[in-house]
A and B are shown apart, each in its own frame.
Chain A
Amino acid sequence: MHKCLESKKSSQANLVQIRGQKRRMMVYAARNGSPEEARSISLSGVGIRVLVDNKSWGFSSTNRLDQNAVDLTLENGLKLAKASSRLRKRATPYEPCEPVTADFLTPSRKPLDSASIEEFAKIPLEACSGAQDAKGHLAEAKAACLSIEDDKYFVSSEGSCIHQQITRLMLFVDVIAKIGSVICPASENVGHSGGMELFDEALPYSIGKTVAEKANRLLSAKAPPSGHFTVVVHPTLCATLLHEAIGHPLEADLALSGGGFGSQFGKNVSSELVTIFDDGNIAGGLGRFQFDDEGTECKHTILIERGILRSFMHDRTSAALTGVCPTGNAHAWDYSVEPLIRQTNIGLEAGAYSLEEMIEGVKEGLFLDGTFGGQADPSADFTFGFQSANWIRDGKIAEQLRGANVSGNAIGVFKTIDAVGKDVVLRPGACGKYQFAVQGRVVPAIRCRIMVGGTGGT
């Protein structure tokens, strides 16, 4: 990589960034008590990004690591950048960056490589056995444990040389309960940056059991109603709401493309109970990095402060365009793709209410729990799924209801927040904005008004 950087070719560019990566992943999955999948993935490659004529980017990647292939990749990057240079109307500004030399290793008490294959393979089996011990009408219990070990190098023509070793571990449990034609799914995920210590507290057996009990409970529940409701949103679901509905519109590339939050800078965009941040340094967060993939240090960025829009999440280009400092949000899923503006660990600061107090204040409404993921567009319109619900009647949790979707416009919905919970949890999350990413979310429960799309009645 260093040789390639010093080559004559690289002097044709204003900026060259080379990212080399080795990635090892293990997947162990179990289904209905038996092992289902054992998979080892070993990948390596180089991605090179160049800026030409101060306005045009080219990116090229390869899985071949010999000097010829890396040089050819640089050449391709240059060709691509030049090919579109004439079509670009404006310069692409780029916030300068002090060269850094750094070495980062995800802290962990029980490093991933200390676990044996057998130890790893046991985790999804334990989750399955927990689910099966819940009895009831379980049609299927699936669990998958996945580890990612990344060894990443970043070198740039600005003189940076950054080495980061990031390790992450996740467990996904999905169950389906079924009686006749009535089918109820439920799921739970745990995950962190770190090692096997994840399972010291999050016991796979208990996770499996809790999820299966929930699916069984939903079999006898009714479908939720449709219409606008006051809802108390559990942190697991708040994580999706925060990521999809507020997180995406606060990414500078989406924000500045019109609609959503783009024109709202310094204005009141949310309830004054709401303070939102993004923080790449949250211990254990799945989006924990010391540096992003443009060589910017990750930091704590206040995005919305007591309802007022303070900052977007930036890469070095969007920062230069708006005259601010980059926030360390340029991340690439792996060497083969270019960095994009991504959330790291997005968070909502704790409020003053306990969950009980939030429910007490609702005469008629819904308590929404669990997530099935979601999506949002640049105008901040979102849709996402919840796993289960309860009616709230006269300040008390009433009958259980099944899952459905909620939708709305984030700006509208966040203005209706009238209570934020005091207990904050760190949740794992994933996102598919053009490329994949795993991220953290720091979330309490909230109370707001939202449109629920259920198939049931009142």
Chain B
Amino acid sequence: MNIESNWDRLSSTVHRAEEKLGRMNIALAEAFYTNYETTEVSIRNSEILTQDRLQDSGVGFRVVLHGNKIGFACTNSLNERNISETASKAFSIANAGPKTPMFALPDSQKPTSVYGLYDSRVEEMSLEDSVEIAAQAIEAAERVDNRVTVKDGRVIFTYGHRGILNTIGVDREERETRAVIYLAASGKHNDEVTSICYAFDFTRRANLQPQQIGEKAARRAIAMFEPKAIRTFNGPVIFGPEAVSNQLFDVLIDALSADNVRSGHSAWSEKLGQSVASGNLTVIDDAILEGGFGSRSFDDEGCPSKKTCLIQDGKLESLLHHATSAKSLGAENTGNASRSSGELDIVGMIAGRGYKTQPEIYPSNLMIQPGTETRNDMVEDMKQGVLIDSMAGFAQKGSGVISAQLSRAFHVENGEIQFPIKGSMVMGVGFDWLKKISSVSRETERFQNAILPCLQVEDVKVVGS
């Protein structure tokens, strides 16, 4: 049976279950359903380790009773009886379930058109093609330097559908494709193994560039040969796009989530309209970006997608909302209900994402507006400082405290990169860093839910060993 007829069958069964719910004594009901096929080739130690083909489909029902009591139940056993039982289960859970006084779901609004979310070539990609792409990436990395090993890597092609249906008029489906290549390389030189260096691409199209990504990962690894320790240092730091995506991104979305503002523990709870960052920082959430990895025509509750300016020239203009947060704060819904948030929340990771969960607030494509300087200009203008391309650590929720180990970083002196740094940490408060951004690069890199430039921040503490 092909994916189209599977989808049609799932969709019509879900519609019948939802209709049945609509006839019960409820206030609202919603069904979110997906069907995806994924081919995944994994690389370990410069060899192809495994290749997987995963098929997964399922449906999650949210039932809201009068008085806003909510229940959620999901299943991936998709016969008529199981789907109908799961809908009833959501109803019975709602009876003993939580109350959300200002609960809301989007109603029927004109959908947005977003282009470039589907590429038929992803669907046509054969298993052999995927294996070949992984092999090319490994070869390309090893060709750059035979001291480089691709420790870990993935080539992933996914295609399928997502659908959302509620009892107040939302009924939407979307077909989409995704392609991901991700490599983690490390080099060995003089018996010293470098830290792991990543190169990746997240796209909607089939045209992954394995050679380019392989070479990039390998070059990054050999740049880490002969690292030196540095003394503890306070001064300018250039955070490369990957480093920005590591912890500063977490600090930003933690503060921008209207749910955190609603519960009062966002650092920006009362900052709307005020300055929260340096004047050269502009941040946008753009769910309608053509071909964007996080783009979609409707969010995971069915709200039509839009483009929202969050921070304009350092001033906080808007938060990220789903229907309930928008209603309770009296704001416009920005369409940021997401069932695939990348938050490292342990319950979320155990219970699962997608149809297995209710939506949370998360960005679609969070974009930091690029500046005018090139990355090279930024390095050339630096008298003494540190360039951090990648770091591993944590940002503390609420407070924005970041402390992270430098995994790919360089000492810069007199406008030139001098040597890679080993055994150091960077620490500070993310919110303070945002206020001390002195420069934003012209170049950007794409991530799963973000498009980010380099940021130069003044007065950052790097602890040496």
Residues of A within 8 A of B (CB): 25, 27, 29-32, 34-45, 57-65, 68-69, 73, 76-77, 79-81, 83-84, 87-89, 117-118, 121, 139-140, 144, 146, 148, 170, 172, 176, 178, 181-185, 189, 223, 226-228, 253, 257-259, 336-338, 372-373, 375, 377-379, 381-383, 385, 403-405, 407-409, 430, 432, 434, 436, 438, 451, 453-455
Contact = CB atoms under 8 A, between A and B. Distances in A.
A405 B424 CA distance: 12
B463 A185 contact: no
B264 interface: yes
A438 B351 CA distance: 12
Contacts of B267: 181, 183
Interface stretch (B94-102, B278-286, B442-450): B94-102
A316 B52 CA distance: 19
Given A65-B77, A405-B427, 20 more contacts: A35-B99, A37-B98, A38-B96, A39-B74, A42-B75, A42-B76, A42-B77, A44-B76, A57-B50, A63-B78, A68-B1, A83-B127, A140-B264, A183-B267, A226-B461, A378-B151, A383-B425, A405-B405, A405-B425, A451-B425
Contact of B265 (A45, A68, A118, A178): A178
A405 B186 contact: no
Interface residues of B, number: 85
A185 B397 contact: yes
27 contacts: A29-B98, A35-B99, A37-B70, A37-B358, A39-B72, A39-B357, A43-B356, A60-B53, A80-B51, A83-B51, A87-B48, A146-B347, A148-B350, A176-B265, A181-B267, A183-B399, A226-B425, A257-B44, A337-B54, A383-B392, A405-B393, A405-B403, A405-B427, A407-B425, A430-B350, A453-B427, A455-B427
B96 A121 contact: yes
A87 B73 contact: no
B398 interface: yes
Nearest to A77: B53
Contacts of A60: 52-55
B378 to A, nearest CB: 25
Top 5 nearest A-B pairs (CB, nearest first) are A35-B98, A183-B398, A405-B403, A259-B193, A38-B97
A379 B193 contact: yes
B127 A407 contact: no
B15 interface: no
Query: Interface of chain A, helix or strand or loop or mixed?
Result: strand
B47 A40 contact: no
Nearest to A45: B76
B306 to A, nearest CB: 27
Contacts of A59: 50-53
A226 B405 CA distance: 13
Interface of B: 1, 41-42, 44-45, 47-58, 70-78, 82, 86, 89-90, 93-94, 96-100, 127-128, 130-131, 135, 149, 151, 186, 188, 193, 195-196, 232, 263-265, 267, 344, 346-347, 349-352, 356-358, 392-394, 396-399, 401, 403-405, 407, 423, 425-429, 461, 463, 465
A176 B397 contact: yes
A407 B73 CA distance: 41
Given A38-B71, A64-B55, A407 B405 contact: yes
Contacts of A183: 265, 267, 396-399
A34, A37, A336 interface centre (most CB from chain B within 10 Å): A37
A189 B393 CA distance: 21
A405 B193 contact: no
Nearest to A256: B45
B173 to A, nearest CB: 19
A25 B351 contact: yes
